[in-house]
Amino acid sequence: MNKKFFTSENFTLVISTLILGLLVGLSSVMLSMFLELIEHLFLNFNETVLNPSPISTQPFRRLISVILGGTISGLIWYFLRKHSQGPIAINAALKGKQMPFWPMLIHTFTQIFYVGTGGSVGRELAPREAGAMLASQWDKLLEKTNLTTLSPTNKQLLIASAAGAGFAGVYIAPITGMFFAVEILLKDVSVKNISVSLGMSTIAMLVGATYKGFTPYYAIPTNKFSLTILPIILIIAPLCGFLGGLFRKSFKWAEKKQTHNLNIVWQLPLISLITGIISMRLPQIMGNGRALAQLAISASSRTMFTLLLIGAILKALVTVFTIKAGAAGGTLTPSISIGAVVGGLITAVSANSLPQGALIGAVSLLAASQQAPLMALFMIFEVVHLNYSALLPLGLAVSLAIGTSQIVLNYHK
């Protein structure tokens, strides 16, 4: 066996993987519990796979909830950005910037608070940033106690792995967490990177599952795919790839132009007001997009897709302008919701299975918007609990979508 493996730094890396896996898993549990608390207090709503939308909540209460959420969150983010060192983005932490504990803690819980009240943005950024912050603090502790100093490469590996583990702990998806770390953050799919990130994500997933269980995030009638879906993929995947490229350009524009000054105090409540007004008729617009995606997957009538298409367009617009107005949040689950509607709509014209078409659209638009084919592929597998029969159709869809998305992304580059 290679003696170079048995070094003090590698030993520290192994111990760090185990400890951070546990800590990140616990942080994911805390964020999940906080989300449930906020949904109950503001919307009197208990989110489950079979009940992902506050449809039974009074329309006026939905309106007030998201307005209050936007107002309170806007004030918190304004003071955080003006009077503290944080929040620090994960990419900045990978370049060596320290993620301060208290500002990042407030920042991540504010994200969950805003989504819990109905804000239209993904909730997956918060556990990723919480994980990265814990890894940053862990590295600071190692240096302070004069234990083995990790190389810059290993520091990056721990931060990226912890970010992926944060996702794994909330969505019970360790392979997705691993691919988020190595494909999106590190952009280096090496044996070492996979081992550390997958190990940490698996531990975080096991901790998270003690609270959340192993139920799928989206419910489908059957997890088996029929090969008869293959021809329609040739239409769904390129279209969703094109739309995914547009969505990526849109939210990247929103992030670049995001409000960081006092204007967030009125801009975020304003977009929250718009979200609330829409939610009075279409509650699936609220939150991270899970409800809209589930409605597309479970659609029992082809006539529903007129409403769903309007919902998808509004979801894309509201999410982009929510980010532009100053909110922090993810774009993975909003991408899934938009893609699910497009895929289901196209499949509704044919005689194919609506749930399968919705999932084809979801994985295609997700892959294109994130430019992460492997992460997108395995995310849908893990959160829906699909079996091997989905590998060929989803793999084909991802390949076509990634290729088509380059038309948009390389235009005027």
For 86-136, how does the pLDDT look when each residue is reduced to its tens digit (9 = 90+)? 799 999 999 999 999 999 999 999 999 999 999 999 999 999 999 999 999
Whether residue 413 is predicted with pLDDT greater than 70 in this model: the reply is no
Distance, CA of 69 to CA of 60 (rounded, Å): 14
Of the listed ranges 22-36, 305-319, 341-355, the one predicted with least confidence = 341-355
What confidence tens digit (pLDDT) does each residue in 235-268 have? 999 999 999 999 999 999 999 999 989 999 999 9
Query: How far apart are the C-alpha atoms of 156 and 366, rounded to whole Å?
Result: 25
Reported pTM: 0.95
Q: Rg of the Cα trace of the chain?
A: 21
What's residue 222's pLDDT?
Answer: 83
pLDDT, residue 5, reads 61
Residue range 180-204, pLDDT digits in tens: 999 999 999 999 999 999 999 999 9
Using alpha carbons only, give the angle 74, 66, 114 rounded to the nearest 5 degrees. Answer: 50
227-409 matches 3-212 in CATH topology: yes
Question: What is the pLDDT, as a whole number, of residue 332?
Answer: 97
- pLDDT score at 1: 47
User: 97 by DSSP, 3-state: which?
Assistant: coil
Instruction: Give the domain 227-409 fold.
Output: Clc chloride channel (1.10.3080)
Q: How confident is the model at residue 152 (pLDDT cuts 50, 70, 90)?
A: very high
Convert the pLDDT of each residue in 200-220 to its tens digit. 999 999 999 999 999 999 999
Q: Which residue, 127, 108, 191, is CA-closest to 157?
A: 191
Q: Is domain 3-212 annotated with CATH 1.10.3080.10? A: yes
The DSSP result for 245-314, as a single string, is HHHHHHHHHHHHT---STTHHHHHHHHHHHHHHHHTT-GGGSTTSHHHHHHHHH---TTHHHHHHHHHHH
> What are the sequence ranges of the domains in the chain?
3-212, 227-409
Mean pLDDT of the chain: 94
Report the Cα 355 to chain-centroid distance in Å. 21
Task: Output the pLDDT for position 348.
Answer: 84
Residues 335, 331: Cα–Cα separation, whole Å? 6
